[in-house]
Structure 1
Amino acid sequence: MDPGFEAALRQFVIDRSGALFRTAYLLTGDRHAAEDLVQSALTKTAARHRGLRDHAAIEGYVRRTMYHEQVSRWRRRARIVEVSTDQWLDRPRDGHAEAADLRVMIRAALSRLTPRQRAILVLRYFEDKSETEIAHLLGVRVGSVRSQIHRSLERLKKSAPELGNVRELR
């Protein structure tokens, strides 16, 4: 591996692994699957070292790899298993009860969606990607992204009324 790329990748992992893990967790809904997704994306990035020198280029490649890898995982599964739970996943700490409660409600609500619906909402509202960018990342048409956003928000409203008006999440 090119020493310059290796140093840049090492620093990137130090600086951005937390953010990558949060995105992977939102995409997968599972801590271990999120860790595997980040590791897989970083491994594929390390194998493609030409042309990636700065943080922006590396981050773009890693994130795109994560999205594609997760879509591939969904497609490989024979069926979708949805798990709905009313359990609290976190406990509020250090006076941040409202923020922790909201995070827990959002995680629980996202876990009730299909993997594709979860990915669309994570990309749109947590990663702030445009419909065009999402379509490119997931390899679908922009119209499909729009309809999936609409369906996902409707399903989120029905399955998680505790979130109130879903549009507030934007």
Structure 2
Amino acid sequence: MDRYDGFREFVQARQQSLIRTAYLLTGDAHLAEDLLQSVLAKVAGQWPKLRKGGNPEAYTRKALINQHVSWRRRVRRELPSADPPEYGRSHDDSTVDRIVLRQALARLTPRQRAVIVLRFYEDRSERETAELLNCSLGTVKSQTHHALGRLRMLAPELAHLLVEVETLEVNR
């Protein structure tokens, strides 16, 4: 029996979902690929234990988040441009919202960004988010509160989206 039996199948089955999460965490396709590759190398080393009784997907997602947070020193700053790429094109409102949201997410701390991605994009509960981030439930709640407040400040034009998110939070 090969030490990596099932690893290739796991990666093939979950790669799209994992790269999407990595992209949402980093905001950059190339960094997302680097992040996922780095994490999968670590997961491969743990594969025999994970295969025998662990939860490979949960372990991989937690490793993605932890690696992303530890990369905070590698934060790339976006430089303003006189000719943004969307200049001269017409976009529908949802496309503009996605662009503005992506830019605002990039300005959050890595931990705040991770909380927002897990809670609202991956639709994780506060408890699941706390487990993935290895922190308390209270930390998830406060990070969510601070991150939503910062998003409100950074992108007031997204107020309609944030009202929807806060409504969802109250109704959970």
Query: With structure 2 as the length reference, what TM-score do the two structures score?
Result: 0.76
**In structure 1, what is the Cα distance between the partners aligned to 2:75 and 2:112?**
12
Task: Please name the residue that 2:98 is paired with.
Answer: 103
Aligned-pair Cα RMSD in Å: 3.2
Q: 1:82 to 1:146 in 2, by over 3 A?
A: farther
Contact 2:115–2:129, Cα closer than 8 Å, also in 1: yes
Further displaced range: 11-20 or 38-47: 11-20
CA–CA separation in structure 2 for the residues paired with 1:12 and 1:25: 19
Partner of 2:148: 153
For 2:113, the equivalent position in structure 1 comes to 118
8 Å contact from structure 1 (residues 88, 104) kept in 2: no
Q: In the alignment, which residue of structure 2 is the partner of 1:41? A: 39
Q: After superposition, give the CA deviation of every residue in 1:11-37 in whole Å (9 maximum; x if it has no partner).
A: 222222121111111111222221111
Gaps of 5+ in 1: none
The percentage of counterpart residues that share the same residue type is 44
Task: Please say if residues 131 and 142 of structure 1, whose CA atoms lie closer than 8 Å, have aligned partners that are also in contact.
Answer: yes
Residue aligning to 1:71: 69
How far residue 149 of structure 1 moved from its aligned partner, in angstroms, is 0.5
Amino acid at match of 2:2: P
- Cα 1:66–1:80 change in 2 (3 A) is closer
* Aligned match of 1:32: 30
Deviation at 1:120, TM superposition (A): 1.0
Look up the SS of the partner of 2:55 in the other structure. Answer: helix
Separation in structure 1 between the aligned mates of residue 49 and residue 130 of structure 2, nearest angstrom? 24
SS state at 2:108 partner: coil
Distance 1:29 1:85 in 2: 16
**Length, aligned pairs only:** 161
Aligned match of 1:167: 163
* Aligned mate of 2:14, from 4, 16, 24: 16
SS at match of 1:48: helix
